[in-house]
Structure 1
Amino acid sequence: MLPEGLLTKFIVLGLYFAILVIIGVVASKRVKGVSDFYVGGKKLGYWAVAFSARATGESGWLLLGLTGMGAIAGFSAYWVVLGEVLGVGISWFFMAKRFKRATDKYDSITVPDYLESHFNTGRKTIRKVAATALSLFVVIYVSSQIDATGKAFESLLGINYFTGAIVGFIIVMAYVYIGGFLAAVWSDFFQGILMFFGLVCLPFIAWLSIDDGGSIVNGLTQIDPNLTSIWGDTSSPLLTVFTILGFAMIGLGFLGSPQIYVRFMSVKNEAEIDKGKWVAILFTLLTDFAAVTIGLLGRYLFTSVGQDPEAVLGTAGEGVLIVMIENIFPIVIVAIYIAIVLSAIMSTIDSLIVVASSALSRDFYQKIINPEVEQKKLTRISRLITLALAVVALIIALSVAILSPDRTIFWFVIFGWSGIAATFCPVIILSLFWKPYSEKGALASMITGFLCVPIFKFIVQSIDGVGIYFEKLDVLAPSFLLSIIAGIIFTKLYPKTS
């Protein structure tokens, strides 16, 4: 017989998972061809696209990573909020309509589709490079999210890590396999609503639970003076600058990442983008601000002067959200928040799997190997490739868990989020705003971004003297910058031909 609290959690999660599967079944009725499977037939409205894009872009990072950053870094973590709001704002206000217009003109349903049509060289090189990079980084990113699923089941429900990872994997695949992109978007919309209200409401409830009559800011200052400084640890001014830049530059990943920009392809018209941009901005501002604030309130409520915060709140503060809800709410609400945490993770897994599958089935199989394939057969092949890629990601996640049991939840997500962003965002930006940009320049941008992520992570950050600065800056900003520079240089060396 299960304990009453655990039984309540399982009942709530059972209802949540049942809703996801129902969404997949309903979505499957609308999948008539490969365009429906990968971009929902380009008929989606702004609410679904905006919430889906934000849920996919944030993942478990928002509920576990950013709340933990607020607990450990303090006020300086609000620089992440600024960076993400700017990234999302630039993306929706200045890039989305241009990208939608171009992809409709080329009848593109994947980012490699768009790139090949845009440069129009008659060769398949850029499609091959883009699809290969996308498949590799996306599978690694998905494996990190499956890893987060296993850890969430283990810490929240007491279920064995491996069992939890497999159960989460099966649930996601149940609705994505049958419903494709449409199921991913609809489920992301549902999960995004859970994430939004769960995050925005929690700081108010936590604040009301504080009954000691003291000042929160003064209390945080006593725990650690750096917590209440917007500049963080100011003992080294140069290191402070690099840290703030590292926080703010996280928003660069929203300027062209395929798993987000495929949403702009799927929206039914540009007028929906004009409406959706305000939804996306408001979602980002409120949820990111709430996440950092949750971390700060958790640090105030559950740690004391001289105490190691990670001993109470978990490695990198990742457990602050869970500690807070378990100390504030009754078991039914705790169960709902567990579903919200899983929503954040699963909303990223489903979208990424569909994007990786499209790179292989559409960009390799249909466009290179078998251009004459029938739509019905291609849809069936797309489902099988989706399943195969998901299994590969699951194997990677379980293997890493065995080989590196002391990892943090997001320790290898850097190869996913940063790798995808550094490889594709500069190419999307330059292709939309710089007419002379050539195919050789685009290839140079992608290859440079692709290689710089592991170089900065494993080589530059280990260099004595300078490594610490690049560790604070992280890999995305320098990789992004070098990718743009490489694109400009190679475009000048190998300009477009008529």
Structure 2
Amino acid sequence: MLINLIVLGLYFAILFGIGIAASRRIKNMDDYYAGGKSLGYWMVAFSARATGESGWLLIGLTAMGALAGVSAYWVVVGEVLGVAVSWFFMAKPFKRLTDKYDSLTVPDFLESHFKAKGHTLRMVAALCLASFVVIYVSAQIDITGKAFETFLNLNYFTGAIIGFLIVVAYIFIGGFLAVVWSDFFQGLLMFVGLLALPVVAYFAWDQHAELFSRLENIDPNLVNIWGGNEDPWMQTAKMLGFAFIGLGFLGSPQVYARFISVKNTAEINKGRWVAIVFTLISDAAAVSIGLLARALFTDTGMDPEAALGMSGEDTLMVLLKDTFPAVIIAIYIAIILSAIMSTIDSLLVVASSAIVRDLYQKVFHPEIGNDKLTRMSSYITLAMALLALAVAMLVAINVPGRTVFWFTIFGWSGIAATFCPMIIYALFWKKFNQSGALACMISGFLAVPFFKFYVQELDGIGPYFRELDVMGPAFVVSFIIGGAVSLMMAKKHKIAEIPEEQN
């Protein structure tokens, strides 16, 4: 325990140092919410990936690898494709337009892009974003509590509050710049840690050559890339449900805020391979950790939860204890917290920008200058964080059987279905207009709870949609409705600008 506390104390001290250093660079709202639009590709790539992965990568995806087997690699396929499409085809046109409009936030971009009359588009975007960000942040706080409980034997609620206080402190001090700098540091920790564990554990195991035969003896479905379900439609739904997680990288505001902050499009060209390699290695390593733990610590016919915890969420810790000494385990605890906090900090800054910049300043008090709002931004960030903490505590009390993987994916899906189809249309379709954008956001926002709490409970089709989950269906609904409304309302709106491709 003493070693753990020393290592964590050092880790937290580095985060606070980053926050203090960043605070000296904060002079106005551009700095607080977009880092002065001067960041290089290493910072942006690592920050975007650390933000996009979150605590579900180390606890949720390792557990999914242990329970689902090699079919969990479909998550890797989906995420790599999503990141590649985002960086290769979407990032540069988005950056050019946001620079032209002098946008600091995604709602800024939308209002300028569609030459919106009034603030309806901005208000809907800001409110939708703030709502699902609170849910997503609460999922990360929930993971924080579970991490402290599992790794440090602290009470769940105590751990959740400690993690919450730490991350809020350095955001409060340093804003977006502190978030990006800390994400770079934390992203490096995540990458190295995820790469090292499965490699060391595999070669330390005397019978590592028998990995797949041992998995097959435990359950033949564990080595079936298609999942092994006798119903081909159920099998397809499960595969797509895993792969569709990657759709969230095609326009989610907390990720695309990094493209607003990057120095120029040349940095995007350099950063895209960094982002893709990070995603491929870290995600594949997380699934591989689950496979190794399942082979090592469960026998034929044994319930994996008996060895690997509820829904497999102790998978990482079980393998760590078998592979590394206490001091290395303490470093891994810091890595797990890095994955969690790198997402919480980004989301809170995005939510704060939606309230302060997009609602308070742009809608209600346009006469107030950016400089005067910087301090207010800090307090709104704190208020949003407290709301997310309250939600996390309520969920923990009332939903004891929840899993890290699907709780996090619900929040991720909500943000993605609300914003990603709209961003894709805005960048590539000239006939897409303000009415279509509103339809995209509202339909995507409502489709997520509709599929989660209604369709998945239906007899007959419900089980298929449980395997498919909410991301794909809600994304499709938003895409179709947004496109249809744009065509119907085309005569009322001007054609949007689509930037020409430039190298």
User: TM-score category by the smaller chain?
Assistant: over 0.9
Aligned partner of 1:263: which letter? R
Q: Paired residue for 2:500?
A: none
User: For residue 407 of structure 1, what is the aligned residue in structure 2?
Assistant: 402
SS at match of 1:412: helix
Indicate whether 1:160 and 2:159 are aligned. no
Q: Are residues 1:137 and 2:124 paired?
A: no
Q: Distance in 1 between matches of 2:314 and 2:453?
A: 27
Q: Among 186, 206, 209, which residue is 2:204 paired with? A: 209
Task: Indicate if the aligned counterparts of 2:410 and 2:470 stay in contact, CA closer than 8 A.
Answer: no
- Using the alignment, how far apart are the partners of 1:263 and 1:240 within structure 2? 36
Note the C-alpha offset of 1:410. 4.3
2:347 to 344, 352, 369: 352
Paired residues of 1:52 and 1:188 also in contact (CA < 8 A): yes
Letter in 1 for 2:361: Q
- 1:477, 1:152 → 2: CA distance? 29
For the residue of structure 1 that corresponds to 2:55, the secondary structure is helix
Tell me if structure 1 keeps the 8 A contact 2:202–2:208.
no
After TM superposition, list the pairs within 5 Å mapping 1:395-434 onto structure 2.
Answer: 395-434=390-429
What is the CA deviation profile of residues 308-330 of structure 1, one whole-angstrom value per residue up to 9, with x for unaligned ones?
Answer: 01111122212111100011110
* Counterpart-to-counterpart distance in 2, 1:316 and 1:200: 23
Give runs of aligned pairs for residues 42-191 of structure 1, distance below 5 A: 42-191=37-186
Contact 2:143 2:404 in 1 (8 A): yes
Match of 1:365 among 350, 360, 367: 360
Q: Within 2, Cα distance between the matches of 1:246 and 1:218?
A: 27
Whether the 8 Å contact between 1:184 and 1:350 is mirrored in structure 2 is yes
CA contact (8 A) 1:148 1:410 kept: no
Residue 201 of structure 1 and its aligned partner are, at CA, apart by 1.0
Tell me the SS of whatever aligns to 2:226.
Answer: coil
> Distance between the aligned counterparts of 2:155 and 2:314, measured in 1?
18
Q: Would you say 1:33 and 2:10 are equivalent positions? A: no
Letter of the 1:280 counterpart:
A
Is the counterpart of residue 318 in structure 1 residue 313 in structure 2? Answer: yes
Q: 2:493 aligns with which of 483, 493, 497?
A: 497
Q: How far 1:494 moved relative to its partner?
A: 0.7
Gaps of 5+ in 1: 1-5
Q: How far did residue 397 of structure 1 move?
A: 1.1
Counterpart residue type for residue 58 of structure 1: E
Report how far residue 337 of structure 1 moved. Answer: 0.5
CA contact (8 A) 2:38 2:263 kept: yes
Tell me the equivalent position of 1:3: none
For 2:464 and 2:454, how far apart are their aligned partners in 1? Answer: 13
Counterpart of 1:110, as a letter, is: T
Q: Which of the residues 365, 378, 381 maps onto 1:383?
A: 378
Contact kept in structure 2, 1:153 and 1:164, CA below 8 Å: yes
Cα distance in 2 between the residues matched to 1:410 and 1:404:
14
* Sequence identity percentage: 64
State the shift of 1:414 in Å.
4.0
Pairwise CA distance, 1:121: 2.4
Counterpart contact for 2:28–2:374, Cα < 8 Å: yes
Map Cα deviations across residues 392-414 of structure 1 (whole Å, 9 max, x no partner): 11111112222223322345334
Aligned to 1:279: 274
Gaps of 5+ in 2: 495-503
Q: 1:14 aligns with which of 9, 13, 16?
A: 9
Q: TM-score, normalised by structure 2?
A: 0.97
Q: How many residues align?
A: 493
Q: CA deviation at 1:38?
A: 0.4
Name the residue aligned to 1:196: 191
Distance 2:417 2:374 in 1: 30
In structure 1, C-alpha distance between the alignment counterparts of 2:446 and 2:114, rounded to whole Å: 23
How far the C-alpha of 1:52 sits from its partner, in A, is: 0.4
- Give per-residue Cα distances to partners, 1:311-368, cap 9 Å, x unaligned: 1112221211110001111000000001111110000000000000000000001101
Going from structure 1 to structure 2, the CA distance change for 1:213 and 1:466 (only over 3 Å counts) comes to closer
Q: Determine the structure 2 residue equivalent to 1:447.
A: 442
Distance in 1 (CA, whole Å) between partners of 2:451 and 2:402 is 19
Aligned CA-pair RMSD = 1.0
User: TM-score scaled to structure 1, two decimals?
Assistant: 0.98
Q: Which residue of 2 aligns with 1:235?
A: 230
Query: Are the equivalent residues in 1 in contact too, given 2:66–2:290 (CA < 8 A)?
Result: yes
Deviation, structure 1 residue 264: 0.3
- Structure 1 distance, partners of 2:397, 2:312, is 23
Mapped to 1, the partners of 2:122 and 2:262 lie a distance apart of: 23
Whether 1:334 and 2:342 are equivalent positions in the alignment is no
Match of residue 499 from structure 2: none
8 Å CA contact 1:195–1:344 kept in 2: the answer is: yes
Aligned counterparts of 2:402 and 2:77: Cα–Cα separation in 1:
28
Measure how far apart 1:233 and its partner are.
1.8
* Aligned-partner Cα distance in 1 for 2:207–2:429: 58
User: 2-side partners of 1:487 and 1:478: how far apart?
Assistant: 14
Give, as a single letter, the amino acid of the residue that structure 1 aligns with 2:162: V
TM-aligned CA distance change 1:67 to 1:213, over 3 Å: closer
Task: After TM superposition, list the pairs within 5 Å mapping 1:246-261 onto structure 2.
Answer: 246-261=241-256
Residue 420 of structure 2 corresponds to residue 457 of structure 1: no
